[in-house]
Every structure is written in C-alpha cells, then in structure tokens.
C-alpha cells in the first residue's frame, strides 16, 4: 500500500465548501503513479507509462477545507496490460471516498499497450499489495 498526504487548495473546493470530485481524481492519479514509482525499477519506469481509463467513485462522506486528508492505494488485480487499483481518501478515521480505477500499461516509446515483465509484476504486486 502507498500513502500520500494531500494538501487542499482553493480550486479543490466547490461553491459551498465541499471537495470537488475532480480533485479526488487528481489525487488518485498522483497516488497511483507514486505507488508505481515506489516499487518499479528505474528501467521499468523509463519504459512504461500508465494511463487511467476508468474511475468508479463512491462518496462516503463530504470533505471540507479544514480536513487533514490522506490518499491510500493498492493494487487489487494486475493482468496483462490492465491494473485495477483501489484507493481511499480519508480524513483521519473518516473515509470520504472509495475509488476503483482501471489503468492501462503503455510502452513509453510506441504508446501502445504492453504487458509488464513478469519480474516487474511480481515486485509491483507482491510488495505493493500490502
């Protein structure tokens, strides 16, 4: 699992002071990439891009400007060129959102889908899932 503290900025809030859904998506993208960078070798990072193709957001509680937020992500499934990440954004013990996102692995040069090397998969999933 990878954790990332979140710093709210004014643009993350809507007119009534709640966190905008788009802000949650921005943070999911950041924590998933941080997760990849944490576990993948420099060579794997240089040869691979990750593109989000689907996000499913389940709001649990409203987020506010005064919240101390943390995003946490882990891989739920990795098969072929696709990975399913599960991310939560919380304020202390209060879960604000649960987000399942599907990502596709691309070759950094051709920009075409590519399967990860089995050694990278093993390291990415085994060390990144807990």
Residue 81 has pLDDT above 80, yes or no: yes
Q: How far apart are CA 28 and CA 72, in angstroms?
A: 9
pLDDT in tens, 15-55: 999 999 999 999 999 999 999 998 888 998 999 999 999 99
Q: What is the pLDDT of residue 130?
A: 42
> What is the chain's mean pLDDT, rounded?
91
pLDDT at 105: 94
**Which CATH number is 2-128 given?**
3.10.129.10
Integer Cα distance of 22 and 13 in angstroms: 10
C-beta separation of 2 from 129 below 8 A: no
């Amino acid at each position: 699992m990878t954790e990332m503290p979140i710093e709210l900025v004014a643009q993350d809030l809507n007119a009534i002071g709640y966190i905008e859904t788009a802000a949650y998506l921005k943070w999911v993208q950041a924590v998933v990439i941080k997760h990849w960078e944490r576990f993948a070798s420099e060579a794997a990072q240089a040869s691979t891009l990750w593109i989000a193709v689907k996000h499913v957001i389940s709001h649990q509680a409203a987020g506010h400007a005064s919240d101390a937020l943390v995003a946490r992500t882990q891989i739920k499934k990795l098969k072929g060129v696709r990975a399913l990440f599960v991310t939560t954004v919380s304020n202390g013990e209060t879960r604000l959102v649960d987000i399942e996102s599907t990502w596709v692995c691309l070759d950094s040069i051709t920009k075409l889908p590519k399967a990860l090397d089995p050694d990278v998969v093993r390291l990415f999933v085994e060390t990144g899932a807990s």
